[in-house]
Structure 1
Amino acid sequence: MIISLAAILALHSGLPQADGWVWSLYEGSRETVLAREIPDTDRLTTTLACAPGSGRITVSFYDLPPRSGFASFRSGDASGTAQMAAGEGSDPFALTIRTDHPAVANFTASGTLEVVAGDQTRTIAVSRPHLAKLRRFTEICAD
């Protein structure tokens, strides 16, 4: 009974599920990173990275092949287009977005950002318990 109650509470409170995936914030003087990962492993799907105060966020997806061109992004009623980095080999699929873009404000508030490039669509979803990390990350990155 106690185990069942704990599972129900975890589902309703938005706590990280048993799969182990969490958002981790790594603050540094040269680079700050918000990563969706399984801690203490090499398993990583998505990062948001910036140089503090730069006004730019690089969004990278490690489960997609790198590509060049343009991607669209949307959060709430705000959308935009960004150029993707032309990576090679193990480089991630990445694009850079300005922190003052309305979609970033919506993302920080809602925790949801959709990125579309060609036939690939990825939705970044930051759950309620991790929204404070996203807000802190965006504050650090803003110019």
Structure 2
Amino acid sequence: MACRWPLALVLSAWAIAAAAITILKQPIPIGLPLEKPLPVQVHGALKIEGIAQPVRVNSDSPLGVKGSVSVERPVAVKTETPLQVDGVVNVDAIKEPVAVSEIKQEIRVDVSNDEPLNVNGTVGVDQVSGQVNVQLRDAVKSLSPIPLP
């Protein structure tokens, strides 16, 4: 009788150890609510290599974007102040007259078709290389020393 209780203690410890090893071999299931995403806070820089789905961003103030951005559909932009554009802007067509208040730099205009380019206002030319064709409306009135009706 005196030898049974140490043997029972050893056998019970072995049974508990075997059960613990069997339980701990498998991952422990943890239930997480899937209705809302997990709150994550990022410290430092974050590099994103690719985005699989469109991302929607709501903001009360304008967001600054660095990098290249492509827009799949036409976008209308209304501002009270002029927009500053850095880079190249391609214009396919101008549907309405454009009012220009001031030109700070030289503008190069290339006309790809044979249609004349109408300019209303004064144009200063410093140098002309090549041939220039001029069409005058009411040439007699402009050259006559007497005002004609």
TM-score by length of 1: 0.19
Richer in helix (by share) = 1
Larger radius of gyration: 2
TM-score by length of 2: 0.18
Richer in strand (by share) = 1
